[in-house]
Amino acid sequence: RERMSRRKNLAGLCAITVGCILLLYASQRYSSNNYATEYFRPRERTGTNLRILNSHKNYGGRSYGGAAGGTSDDTYPPIPTTHNATISIEDVLSYQRMLLASETASYEYTANFGEDEKLTDLIPETGGTPRRSLIITTWRSGSTFLGDILNALPGNYYHYEPLLDFDIIQIRGPPNDSVAIHNLRHLLRCDYSEMENYLDFGRTHNYLFSHNVRLWQQCVRFPQFCYEPRFLG
């Protein structure tokens, strides 16, 4: 009898476990299907008539408005000039080069790099080739947290969700595929030319650039340059 009782208890426990797993799977599948059906349909963009979306949302616990200075976080030392309004793009870029050199001065390159590898070997401006990482993921996957971890690497330049200006859709073909591929190729080369829709979206949605901490620290100080292709590239 004791052995039979144990078997019944074990069978009951297994049945309850299987039932819970099936219920959890069914609920997740139902909610995912509804989410995809409702929000993930391809939509055609009409030239420069870009819709302004999600401007009311909070991202990362901060509320971002329409101006490039929408967040007050600025913990970096001030640029050594008398008046920010009088400096040029080249002044800001020179200052950023100095910050990058300081940030990577004591960085130890891993075994994936050559023994004599140096910063200039990784910067396109000096003829180097950067190490590019492409994160392919789905929604609610923790990719924003992963991006923040990668941002801890010295000199990391982070393109946060590079297809945000298409809205929340899945791109599987025309009419958006060619533009999406064009944008990805340009961003991987840090080339912001011919990306007007992307930059227009960023002007009213600061979270497009705010996750790129090394760029955003300069955007907060100099919003007049933040969305200029010559400054970004």
**Each residue's pLDDT tens digit, 187-197:** 998 899 999 99
Q: Give helix 213-221 / helix 89-103 axis angle, nearest 10°.
A: 140
Looking at the 3D structure of the chain, how many domains does it have?
1
Residue 158 belongs to domain spanning:
131-231
Residue 84 — pLDDT band, cuts 50, 70, 90?
A: low
Q: What is the pLDDT of residue 61?
A: 38
Peptide bond into 223 cis (omega under 30): no
Longest dimension (CA), the chain: 91
183 domain residue, yes or no = yes
Question: Amino acid identity of 192?
Answer: Y
CA torsion through residues 204, 223, 90, 127, sign: negative
In a domain, 17, yes or no: no
If pLDDT is split at 50, 70 and 90, which confidence band does 199 have?
Answer: very high
Q: Is residue 135 part of a domain?
A: yes
pLDDT band (50, 70, 90) for residue 13? confident
Domain assignment of residue 113, yes or no: no
Q: Does residue 106 have a pLDDT over 70?
A: yes
Q: Is 43's pLDDT higher than 70?
A: no
Mean pLDDT computed over every residue of the chain? 73
What one-character-per-residue DSSP string does 54-80 give?
STT-EETTEE--SSTT------SPPPS
Cβ pair 17, 148 in contact under 8 A: no
pTM: 0.59
Q: What's the token pair of residue 45?
A: 């963009």
Task: Please state, in angstroms and rounded to a whole number, the distance separating the CA atoms of residues 68 and 65.
Answer: 8
Most confident of 65-69, 83-87, 171-175: 171-175
Domain contains 42: no
Among candidates 86, 103, 155, 151, which has minimal Cα distance to 125? 155
Let me know if residue 63 belongs to a domain: no
Residue 57 lies in a domain: no
Say which DSSP state 81 is in. S
Report the C-alpha gap between 199 and 47 in whole angstroms: 14
What's the confidence (pLDDT) of residue 35? Answer: 41
On whether residue 87 sits in a domain, the answer given is no
Q: What per-residue confidence (pLDDT) applies to 178?
A: 92
Q: How far apart are CA 182 and CA 49, in angstroms?
A: 19
Q: What is the pLDDT of residue 57?
A: 37
Nearest residue to 128 via CA among 216, 215, 214, 189: 189
pLDDT for 210-224, tens place per residue?
999 889 988 988 888
89-105 pLDDT, tens digit each: 888 888 888 888 888 88
Give how far Cα 95 sits from Cα of 73, 79, 121, 216, Å. Answer: 19, 7, 20, 14
Listed range (101-110, 193-202, 203-212) with the worst mean pLDDT: 101-110
The pLDDT, as a whole number, for residue 11 is 78
